[in-house]
Amino acid sequence: MNNLCIFQRSQRALLFALLLIVPSAYAQEIAVIMGIRSNAKPISLNAREVRQIFLRKDYFTAQGDAWIPVNLNAANPVRAVMTETILQKSVVDLERYWSEMYFDGISPPYVLASEEAVVSFVMETPSAIAYVLACHADSRVHVVYRFQVANDPAFSCAIK
Amino acid sequence: MVILKKSFKNIYRKSRQGLVLWLCLLFIQSPSLFATEVLEPSYQWGRGYHIPSQKFTLGGYAKVAYSYFESAPQELALDDLSLFIAWKPFSRLHLFAELELEDLFTLDGVSSFDESFLVERLYADLLIGENFKLRVGKFLTPYSRWNLMHAAPLVWTSSRPLVTEGFVAANHATGLELFYKTEVFYRDLNISFFADDSKDLEINENMDMFSYAFGGRVDYQLSSSFNIAGSYIAHKKEQQTSEAWQHTVGVDFLWKKDEYELQFEGFYNSLDQEKDRYGLYLQAVTPIVDKLFAVGRYEYMVIGSELLSESESTKPIHLGIVGLTWRPKTPLAVKVEYRFGKNNNSHAPSGVLTSVALFF
């Protein structure tokens, strides 16, 4: 009787633990990446620094090279999350922001079509910085910042 | 100084040939940088034609306006046709030019190129570090939020607030501007100082320009949706008869959240007690339906007697504007507004103003 009671309690505990674990196990991470440089110390950034770089408010890396931020295309769900979470702007606000910058002669970040293209570009370009799903940040790149986002079927590690 | 002035006038005369030469040099001298050479040149509406390998952008904006005034002739004009040329030949050097054709086509006919051609801005930015930037050339005077962002596709009304039209300070300065940016309590703080010598350096001379000026602006982001700024300018203008320096102080704020906006600017300009000029405006924007916005603005302005003819009144001007702005796409703005007021006929006559403006 006692053993049955312990078994039932442990079943409930296991179920509770699974309920806690499952959502976080399926939550996605987005990684902000740079190419690996043999002569440079790996860096890490915070959310505000990433924001300033992608809004072209911060110009230079610690080594004094110009940042080259790279965006995914406007329809990409990873970009939508980046815009909302890190840049803290709606799509309309961000478009208006870039119109104001355009009047000052400043262009928005370059746009590449896929996460694979982004990884290749970042790998080959010193001071380039971009973002991809963390599962696509392979050994060719260095993760300088990562953040979690709610699980969404649109985020697929299968499509690169 | 006379020699310097002659030199600049020569530069202006040769500006068209110079521009062509500049563009040729661009493609010969600018090195391709890293993997940006794999990026194809592309055109995007509202962002211009961009050549990533050369860090070069060509774009601009246009505005067509029609106005029907109650006590003045109606106006139809290609108000602005501005061309932007931006080039970063080196990571710490940013060159920018805005060349404008103003009122090229009007109901009175076609203006000559020389009459309508203006060098609106022409400067080099030297990025000294992460926090400092030095600007050399002709730039927008940093005294008013509206003046710094006055492009027709960006603003909400066809008409410009009277107080920002050059009565209290010239809209352009030619000389040096030093920018400093930092963070205070995790919010952006931008400070700029400028020194102007338009008398010797300005390439499009006009009555409203500074002779000499210096001043600065401090702009602080109080929250993600609220910016507040203050500015000060000491200046002498070409048109003034007295030798005294004028002093202009200004404050402004912009609150912007969920497509609602509230913007205020107020200025006080002092030459002497009889000729003081001061004014303000408060503008509100609210979304009505998708992409359509209602705009309202109240303006108050006292223009010193120095700027008025004998028949004009020195009474304060009150202006009201109610209008609609439709922004079907970010680079495009279609506006219609009704302007009314008191003592306003000389400077801002009552009537209906409409315009279509777009970045290209």
Query: Which CATH number does the domain housing residue A109 bear?
Result: 3.40.190.10
Residue A48 placed within a domain: yes
Can you tell me the ipTM of this complex?
A: 0.87
pLDDT digits (tens, 9 = 90+) for B90-114: 999 999 999 999 888 888 888 888 8
Q: How far is B85 from chain A (nearest CA, A)?
A: 7
**Tokens 């915070």 -> residue:** A46
Contact B35 A65 (CB under 8 A): no
Query: A107-111, B23-27, B61-65, B251-255: lowest mean pLDDT where?
Result: B23-27
β-bridge mates for residue B203, sequence order: none
Q: How far apart are the first and last CA of chain A?
A: 54
CATH assignment at residue B18: 2.40.160.10
| Residue B31: pLDDT over 50 | no
With beta carbons less than 8 A apart as the criterion, state whether B348 and B317 touch: yes
Q: How confident is the model at residue B205 (pLDDT cuts 50, 70, 90)?
A: confident
Average pLDDT, chain A: 85
**Does the residue A14 lie in any domain?**
no
A121 falls within a domain: yes
Establish how many alpha carbons lie within 13 A of residue B176's alpha carbon, considering only the half-sphere containing its beta carbon.
6
Tell me the percentage of chain B whose pLDDT exceeds 70: 86
A20–chain B nearest CA distance, Å? 34
Residue B272 located in a structural domain: no
Per-residue pLDDT reduced to its tens digit, B291-312: 999 999 999 999 866 555 555 5
Q: pTM of this prediction?
A: 0.86
Number of domains in chain B: 1
Instruction: Kindly state whether residue B238 falls inside one of the protein's structural domains.
Output: yes
pLDDT at B25 over 60: no
User: Which pLDDT band, with edges at 50, 70 and 90, does A26 fall under?
Assistant: low
Residue B133 lies in a domain: yes
* A118 inside domain: yes
Percentage of residues in chain A with pLDDT exceeding 70? 80
Contact present, B177 and B200 (Cβ < 8 Å)? no
Q: Do A105 and B86 touch (CB under 8 A)?
A: yes
Give Cβ neighbours of residue B170 (< 8 Å, ≥ 6 apart): B141, B198, B208, B209, B210, B213, B235, B237
Give the count of domains, chain A. 1
Is residue A155 included in any domain, yes or no?
no
The answer to whether residue A38 is domain-embedded is yes
Q: What pLDDT shows up at residue A27?
A: 76
CA distance B42 to chain A (A): 10
Domain boundaries, position B197: 2-30+50-261
Q: Which of B144, B105, B139 is nearest to B253 (CA)?
A: B144
Which of A63, A89, A96, A99 to mutate against chain B (most B CBs within 10 Å)?
A: A99
Which range is least confidently modeled, B12-16, B163-167, B252-256? Answer: B12-16
Give CA–CA dist B214/B142, Å, rounded: 10
> Model confidence at B332, in pLDDT bands (50, 70, 90)?
very high
Probe site for chain B from A55, A67, A68, A104 (most B CB atoms < 10 A): A104
Round the CA-based radius of gyration of chain B to a whole number and report it: 21
Query: Does a structural domain hold residue B350?
Result: no
B35 and A60 within 8 Å at the Cβ level: the answer is no
Predicted pLDDT of residue A3: 60
Whether residue B13 has pLDDT greater than 60: no
Residue B30 has pLDDT above 50, yes or no: no
SS3 call for B59: strand
pLDDT for position B273: 59
Asked which of A79-88, A150-159, B113-122, B151-160 is least confident by mean pLDDT, the reply is A150-159
Position A7 in a domain: no
Domain presence at residue A64: yes
CB A29 within 8 A of CB A149: yes
- Whether residue A57 is predicted with pLDDT greater than 90 in this model: the reply is yes
Higher-scoring residue by pLDDT: B261, A21: B261
Q: What is the pLDDT of residue B2?
A: 47
- Which residue segment(s) compose the domain that A121 sits in? 27-149
Contact criterion met (CB below 8 Å) for B57 and B84: yes
User: Do B219 and B206 touch, CB atoms closer than 8 A?
Assistant: no
B290 touches chain A (CB under 8 A): no
Q: Are A119 and A141 in contact (CB under 8 A)?
A: yes
The per-residue pLDDT for B15 is 53
Percent of residues in chain B assigned helix, strand, coil, to nearest 5:
15, 55, 30
